[in-house]
């Protein structure tokens, strides 16, 4: 699926548009972790994150900036401090994942994180974080692999 078609689908997603502010913030935290884990944030990743943020339940870019701008800065600082400590990363993932309610929301977040992870080149560290998020959501191995494959192929919500 072409990326521009995927972006259109994200913008029309009923799931992501139902996220609460807390879920939106948790999603941002996990997305920043996926982007930063390999210590190389690419233009493709930033563009994909921007598109995903636009699909969240906010009126416009100004409201996104107002509600999530500080969250993104905080997440970057926090993740930067965690990068060398696997145990702290797991705790961060567990605490953040717990803020996302419901099976549908969790499934959607995992697929979106996979889209983000695969938006540039495949990086084992990024897919590992997605896998660990899936575990924190309580998903079994098959469900995690299916969500990662769907996200990698651009089939969010398939």
Whole-angstrom Cα Rg for the chain: 14
CA 34 to chain centroid, in Å, comes to 7
CATH class (in words) of the domain with range 2-153: mainly alpha
Backbone angles phi, psi at 84, to 5 degrees: -95, 5
Q: Could you count the other beta carbons within 10 Å of the beta carbon of residue 49?
A: 22
Q: Residue 12 has what pLDDT?
A: 44
Q: How far apart are CA 67 and CA 59, in angstroms?
A: 11
User: 34-87, pLDDT tens digit by residue?
Assistant: 988 877 777 777 777 787 777 777 777 787 777 778 888 888 899 889 888 888
Nearest to 133 by CA among 154, 153, 155, 148: 148
Count, residues in the chain: 158
User: 84-105, pLDDT tens digit by residue?
Assistant: 888 899 999 999 999 999 999 9
Cα three-residue angle 98-147-40, rounded to 5 degrees: 80
Confidence bin at 157 (pLDDT 50/70/90): low
CA 155 to chain centroid, in Å, comes to 15
SS3 61: helix
């Amino acid at each position: 699926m072409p990326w521009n078609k995927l972006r259109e689908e994200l913008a029309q997603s009923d799931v992501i548009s139902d996220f609460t502010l807390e879920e939106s913030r948790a999603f941002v935290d996990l997305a920043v972790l996926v982007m930063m884990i390999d210590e190389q944030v690419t233009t493709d990743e930033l563009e994909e994150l921007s598109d995903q943020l636009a699909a969240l339940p906010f009126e416009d870019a100004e409201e996104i900036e107002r509600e999530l701008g500080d969250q993104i800065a905080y997440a970057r600082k926090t993740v930067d401090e965690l990068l060398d400590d696997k145990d702290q990363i797991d705790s961060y993932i567990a605490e953040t994942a717990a803020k996302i309610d419901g099976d549908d929301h969790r499934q959607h977040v995992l697929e979106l994180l996979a889209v983000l992870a695969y938006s540039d080149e495949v990086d084992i560290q990024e897919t590992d974080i997605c896998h660990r998020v899936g575990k924190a959501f309580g998903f079994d191995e098959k469900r995690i692999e299916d969500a990662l494959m769907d996200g990698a192929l651009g089939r969010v919500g398939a």
